[in-house]
A and B are shown apart, each in its own frame.
Chain A
Amino acid sequence: MATTITFALMDPPYESARSTTAFRLIDIAARRGYNVNVFAYEGAVATPFAQQKAHPNAVHGRDAAQENHPLPKDWVAALMQAAAQNGGKLDWVNCGLCVDERGVAEVIEGVRRGTPGDLWRMASESQGTLIIGTR
């Protein structure tokens, strides 16, 4: 039976080291070929928002390409690709109510809309679940 683990994420992008640690954990699991479920709620639903844009840095005189600003949506896509390349899958579900509240319905390919019931289902089907809540 394939190994499946679930993470619930709450932090919005660009705000907390918790997001970085969550990405690191997902990356480890994806490279092992595990099936990884992510249930994003509250601010975390903006993580795969498709309208994130790289920007220049006028203070340092760099254009957008030179600045090479990291975009969380690209990291999510890369994690999905890493999981697939290693025989697993990253299933990313955004809480629908949280999405509507924030107007971030336009997401990258592979991200789907769901409800807290999805988190229950994911946890039920996983060997382990970690909830990373915002303090």
Chain B
Amino acid sequence: MAIGKYMVIASRDPFESRDVDQLYDLAAGIVREGNEVTVFLVQNGVLPARFGARSEGLTKLSARGVKVLADEFSLRERAIGGDQLVSGVTPSPLDVIVDHLAAGGKALWH
């Protein structure tokens, strides 16, 4: 069976929305089924990328094989520098979402 390529776009702040944890679980589950998953953090979704109380979830996701990217613009808007990011999170331009869609990948906005 062909490997599926998925992008999960996380725009919500986990301090405000409890269902962000469920989104991370979904991403990990898709990888566990043998697919490739990128979690793309955008808007307030980038807040847990800064080392802090809710950043552990992203570090675990990365360790489970999920690629975790954070929108460079959203990071700049919130004054989160690259040296403040937790391990496993990579700054990225928004273009990768368009790349993914143009290549026929599936994308889920949350």
Distance, CA A126 to CA B104, complexed state (A) = 8
Contact with A along B74-110 (1 / 0, CB 8 A): 0000000000000000000011011011111111010
- Whole-angstrom distance from the CB of B21 to the nearest CB of chain A? 16
CB interface residues, A 78-115, toward B, < 8 Å: none
The residue that B104 contacts in the complex, of A18, A127, A131, with Cβ under 8 A, is A127
CB interface residues, B 30-58, toward A, < 8 Å: 42-44
Residue pair A131, B109 in contact (C-beta under 8 Å):
yes
Indicate whether A55 reaches chain B with its CB closer than 8 angstroms.
no
Residue pair B11, A5 in contact (C-beta under 8 Å):
no
Indicate whether A17 reaches chain B with its CB closer than 8 angstroms.
yes
The residue that A28 contacts in the complex, of B98, B103, B105, with Cβ under 8 A, is B98
Indicate whether A130 reaches chain B with its CB closer than 8 angstroms.
yes
CB interface residues, A 8-61, toward B, < 8 Å: 17-18, 21, 24-25, 28-29, 32, 34
Count of chain B residues with a beta carbon within 8 Å of a chain A beta carbon: 21
A17-B44, A130-B107, A132-B109 given; name 10 further pairs at CB < 8 Å.
A3-B102, A21-B43, A25-B98, A28-B94, A126-B101, A127-B104, A128-B102, A128-B107, A130-B101, A135-B17
Distance, CA A28 to CA B102, complexed state (A) = 12
Indicate whether B24 reaches chain A with its CB closer than 8 angstroms.
no
The residue that A135 contacts in the complex, of B12, B104, B106, with Cβ under 8 A, is B12
Cross-chain pairs A/B with CB under 8 angstroms, 12 sampled: A5-B98, A17-B11, A18-B11, A21-B43, A24-B73, A29-B98, A34-B98, A126-B101, A127-B104, A128-B106, A130-B109, A132-B109
Query: Residues of A contacting B100 with CB < 8 Å?
Result: 128
Distance, CA A24 to CA B9, complexed state (A) = 14
Query: Residues of A contacting B103 with CB < 8 Å?
Result: 127-128
Distance, CA A129 to CA B109, complexed state (A) = 11
CB interface residues, A 110-128, toward B, < 8 Å: 126-128
Query: Residues of B contacting A128 with CB < 8 Å?
Result: 100-107
Indicate whether A133 reaches chain B with its CB closer than 8 angstroms.
yes
- Whole-angstrom distance from the CB of A91 to the nearest CB of chain B? 16
Residue pair B98, A32 in contact (C-beta under 8 Å):
yes
Distance, CA A25 to CA B9, complexed state (A) = 13
- Whole-angstrom distance from the CB of A134 to the nearest CB of chain B? 11
Distance, CA A121 to CA B43, complexed state (A) = 30
